[in-house]
Amino acid sequence: MSARGLGEPQRHDHGAYHSRPASEVELRARALEALLVEKGLLSSDAIDTVVEHYERDLGPRNGARVVARAWVDPAYRERLLDDGTEAIAELGFGGAEGDNMVVAANTPEVHNVIVCTLCSCYPWPVLGLPPTWYKSLPYRARMVAEPRQVLREFGLELADDVEVRVWDSSAEVRYLVLPMRPGGTEGWAEERLAEIVTRDCMIGTALPTVQAGT
Partner 1 sequence: MSEVPGLAAVDTALAGHAPLPRDNGELVFEEPWQGRALGMGVLVLERTGTSWAEFRSHLVAAIERRQPRAGESAATTYYAAWLDALEHLLGERGLS
Interface positions with partner 1 (CB under 8 A): 1-10, 23, 25-26, 28-30, 32-33, 35-36, 39, 41-42, 46-51, 53-55, 57-58, 92, 95-97, 124, 129
Least Cβ distance, residue 119 to partner 1 (angstroms): 13
Contact (CB, 8 A) for 121 and 20 = no
- Catalytic one of 44, 119, 169, 170: 119
Least Cβ distance, residue 51 to partner 1 (angstroms): 5
Count CA atoms closer than 13 A to 173's CA, side-chain side. 12
- Catalytic one of 120, 136, 169, 170: 120
Least Cβ distance, residue 86 to partner 1 (angstroms): 19
| CA–CA dist 100, 83 (Å, integer) | 8
Contact (CB, 8 A) for 87 and 80 = yes
Q: Is 120 a catalytic residue?
A: yes
| CA–CA dist 46, 36 (Å, integer) | 11
Neighbours of 93 (CB within 10 A): 20
Contact (CB, 8 A) for 163 and 141 = no
Q: Which is nearer to partner 1, 49 or 149 (CB)?
A: 49
Q: Is 201 a catalytic residue?
A: no
- Catalytic one of 2, 43, 44, 116: 116
- Catalytic one of 23, 43, 121, 170: 121
Q: Is 119 a catalytic residue?
A: yes
Least Cβ distance, residue 59 to partner 1 (angstroms): 11
Neighbours of 198 (CB within 10 A): 19
The set of catalytic residues is: 116, 119-121
